[in-house]
Amino acid sequence: MRRLTFRQLMTFETVARHLSYSKAAAALHLSQPAVSMQVRLLERIAGQPLTEQLGKKIFLTEAGREMHLASQSILSRLEDLRTRLAQLRDGASGRLDIGITSTANPVATDILVRFRDVRPGVDIHLDVCNRAEVLDLLAANRIDLAIMGQVPDGLGLEATRFMDNPLVIIAPPDHPLARRRRIAVRQLGDAPFLVREKGSGTRGALERFFAAQGVDIHTSMELSSNEAIKLAVQAGLGLGILSLQTLELELALERLAVLDVEHFPIIRHWYVVHRADKRLSPVAQAFKDFILATPPQAAAG
């Protein structure tokens, strides 16, 4: 059995719609004999007539009506496919797999909300975890992009900086140091610190800073989330170090205070990251372009 072709189906569908070979030829910008030939080829494949002529009028046979329904369905599906491919090519729809470090979550969430406003057809799948886990997701090619802070060298990653990330030391509002100005770093050596788990970028920044200052800090508790650190600091269990961009609500409600410590805030940066060898999909590229085009103050909310 010969194979049906797209051209045959399109030609027959046009003939069946107009019930006229001449009108179909005009619609397809073909000669009438060329249209008739395509229908004859289709009839050979079907093994029976698809049209019949009574007087000057063309009618569809029962087989022709079945072929017409099938051709309409196939052509409609192909048109849907063409539209879908165009949307994917333009980044108007598709799936975006993104990983975000928990520290970056407030910043990234705001960016994602803005992106959905301009690309409502995009299906976003989000993983929020610590830095080490995000790096694992990138290495396994399970995400398209990541938003994170410090990006280690030597992992084959392409990282583009898009926004500052100031780290500050926080305490309860009634803490004795909350009323002090220009606190020397060495005065914090005896203070208990609440820190994130190993692998966290914030914890790494804290340890590197105090090591550079020659100050040993006392780690009193290890917690697995920024929210846990905020609550523990509010309860008076110790000091914490977090991104200023995660503290808007607590500072507004005066649940926490930012200490005025010399050399603070520590200015780190947010990066949009992907594997250097990865060819970004149109929607992933659209998201990266959106981040880089978003003014920092707007992205911060």
CATH 3.40.190.10 maps onto the chain at 94-163+269-299, 165-267
The DSSP symbol for 289 reads H
Compute the mean pLDDT over every residue in the chain, rounded to the nearest whole number: 88
Beta-ladder partners of 164: 269
Q: What is the CATH number of domain 165-267?
A: 3.40.190.10
- Residue spans of alpha helices (H) in 47-130: 62-90, 105-118
283 close to 143: Cβ distance less than 8 angstroms = no
Is the pLDDT score of 41 beyond 80?
yes
How sure is the predictor about 40, in pLDDT bands with cuts at 50, 70 and 90? Answer: very high
Three-class DSSP category at 268: strand
The third-level CATH classification (topology) of the domain covering 94-163+269-299 is: D-Maltodextrin-Binding Protein; domain 2 (3.40.190)
- For residues 144-163, give the mean pLDDT: 90
φ, ψ (nearest 5 deg) of residue 14: -70, -40
- pLDDT number for residue 5: 87
- In whole angstroms, give the CA distance from residue 154 to residue 157: 8
Q: How many residues does the chain have?
A: 301
CATH class of the structural domain 6-89:
mainly alpha
φ, ψ (nearest 5 deg) of residue 129: -155, -175
- In whole angstroms, give the CA distance from residue 142 to residue 122: 17
